[in-house]
Structure 1
Amino acid sequence: MNRIDRISAILIQLQSRRVVKASDISERFNISLRTVYRDVRTLEEAGIPLIGEAGVGYSIMDGYRLSPVMFTKEEATALLTAEKFVEQLADAATIANHKSAMYKIKAILRSAEKDLLEDIDPNIQVIINNQQPKQTANNYIQNILDSILQKNVLSIDYFAHHSQKDTKREIEPVGIFCMDTNWHLIAYCLLRKDYRNFRIDRIKCLNTTDKKFNKQHPTLKAYIAQTAKEKQLEMVIIKVEKKVYPMLSYQKYWSGFVSEKDLGDLIEMTFLTVSLEGFARWYIMFADSAEILHPESLKERIKTITQNILQKIDQPDFLLT
């Protein structure tokens, strides 16, 4: 990306949030903080009313807005792809809100971009794996998000899977996430006096109460990280050849998949697993097309397992009978 495009992108990023940290800009564009400061000065010299505060970040003076931004072909296609995911994984209310937002976005597209989206639309589909059918989502996601913002206590009727019983709870919502096509709500349960993970499709009834909560809860990211630490999850990082990557499918989620990075012919994958032993035996399925980066203990366990396999294979037939 050349400097002019980067400065334009920084301006758009500054308009996307109330305050943007210099470190966020640096990380996004892979540039030094010194370069960020220089680019910000360029925007100021161009007449952009920026407010900068040490240790806080940059913001644009209230009332300043650019005219509607035009999307590139790739950005417009990415928006359409995201819409396909929302249609498959979100609840009805979120789907409706997203469609409304997409109509507004498409309204400012140029004619060529509108034609592009119409032409490419039939060629993009999101299909839920037959082994993990899409859950029948209720319309609670927007209510939950509103309660997080307004700090309202929620009252829910919940089916507890482990006890096979219906329970009534009052909870302070922290955040939601989607895993294996199921939406989950992390909340502080006033009954249990602890944080709990609620499957949203198991909530039979949800009401927003007038009660407010003042407790400072951790962010969803911080909660998940802390939970992983408490459960003594082991981080595993591997590289997998792209030719075998599609075969991993949903198995990667069962092994604690967290994230992945495209390295050209390889995919770097990060996992948090509760059992290195179980991960090792899954890894052997595609080990000839992969490499373990971390931890060393996993490499040693793989060596032991494969040596045992070779010993059994090399034994004469009469020793096996």
Structure 2
Amino acid sequence: MNDNDTKRLSRLTAIITQLQTTRLVTATNLAEKFSVSVRTIYRDIRALEQAGVPILTEGGKGYYMMDGYRLPPLMFTEKQANALILAEQLVLKNKDQSFVNDYCDAIDKIKAILKESAKSKANLLGDRTRFDQNINRERSSNFISELQYALTNFLLISIDYVNKDNLSSKRTVEPFSLISTTENWLLIAWCRSRKEFRYFRLDRISKMEVLAEKFEPHKMTLQEYFDKFY
């Protein structure tokens, strides 16, 4: 295999990864990302289709992968694995238990596909890496995982919330964004009872339920929200 073949194989694999992680991608986007011509991307897409990869098009807007299709896990380089292990130590400082649990489960799955030599090094790095903050690993919330699900699926949530004056209220809100601060996590959401966007500290949510009812997605980015309200 010559250098051009190696580069193309790497690009084809990267295109599949891009299609698996992005809902819709255009040939122009892919060409810019991989510094090749659009014509080359067309050839790459045809090659993947001929190899049995189920790539579909959406009205001339771009390409997407058939729902449910996944490649077997790809191998990580040692440096990539080390970066993930380091991130794990940062996550362990987080005060939301659901987030910590889900990330650690994901790391365990990643370690399972590493070669034995890389796995040993990853475990060693995990044992030898520590951060000073949140040494006791105290948790003050357990809602991030459910909130992420509600946010990406546009599902209403019901919360029991205790404000700074220790007054409790029940709210139905439309989750818009999650923001990490040095102390805890904040949920930005449209409060249906107050009819405005509000901040909710996760450590002040005593109870939460993801409802079956969907809401209309808010037509703005997080930056547009900040520009509008701050």
> Same fold per TM (> 0.5)?
yes
Q: 1:156 aligns with which of 147, 155, 159?
A: 159
Between structure 1 and structure 2, the one with the greater Rg is: 1
* Counterpart for residue 172 of structure 1: 174
Q: Secondary structure at the match of 2:133?
A: coil
* Counterpart for residue 3 of structure 2: none
Shift in CA distance, 129/24, structure 1 to aligned 2, threshold 3 Å: farther
Contact 1:135 1:181 in 2 (8 A): no
Rounded to whole Å, the distance in 1 between the matches of 2:41 and 2:60 is 15
* Counterpart for residue 299 of structure 1: none
User: How far is 1:10 from its partner?
Assistant: 1.5
Structure 1 segment 125-140 matched on structure 2, within 5 A: 125-128=130-133, 136-140=139-143
TM-score (norm 1): 0.59
Shift in CA distance, 188/65, structure 1 to aligned 2, threshold 3 Å: closer
Rounded to whole Å, the distance in 2 between the matches of 1:205 and 1:19 is 36
Q: Deviations over 1:105-136 (max 9, x none)?
A: 22121112212212322343344399xx9884
* Counterpart for residue 85 of structure 2: 80
Contact 1:14 1:59 in 2 (8 A): yes
* Counterpart for residue 122 of structure 2: 117
What is the one-letter code of the residue matched to 2:44?
Answer: D
Q: Deviations over 1:212-235 (max 9, x none)?
A: 14323246xx1x312332356xxx
Rounded to whole Å, the distance in 2 between the matches of 1:196 and 1:217 is 14
Between the two proteins, the alignment pairs up a number of residues equal to 225
User: How far is 1:48 from its partner?
Assistant: 3.2
What is the one-letter code of the residue matched to 1:153?
Answer: L
Segments of structure 1 that go 5 or more residues without pairing to the other structure are 233-321
Rounded to whole Å, the distance in 1 between the matches of 2:120 and 2:20 is 28
Q: Secondary structure at the match of 2:93?
A: helix
Q: Secondary structure at the match of 1:51?
A: strand
* Counterpart for residue 145 of structure 1: 148
TM-score (norm 2): 0.78
Rounded to whole Å, the distance in 2 between the matches of 1:166 and 1:97 is 29
- Greater relative contact order (Cα < 8 A, sep 6+): 2
The yes-or-no answer on 1:197 pairing with 2:199 is: yes
Structure 1 segment 1-321 matched on structure 2, within 5 A: 2-17=7-22, 19-26=24-31, 28-29=33-34, 31=36, 33-61=38-66, 65-128=70-133, 136-161=139-164, 165-209=167-211, 212-218=213-219, 222=221, 224-231=222-229
Q: Deviations over 1:248-283 (max 9, x none)?
A: xxxxxxxxxxxxxxxxxxxxxxxxxxxxxxxxxxxx
What is the one-letter code of the residue matched to 2:207?
Answer: C
Rounded to whole Å, the distance in 2 between the matches of 1:10 and 1:127 is 40
Shift in CA distance, 207/113, structure 1 to aligned 2, threshold 3 Å: same
Q: Secondary structure at the match of 1:156?
A: strand
Q: Secondary structure at the match of 2:63?
A: strand
- Larger strand fraction of residues: 1
Q: Secondary structure at the match of 2:74?
A: coil
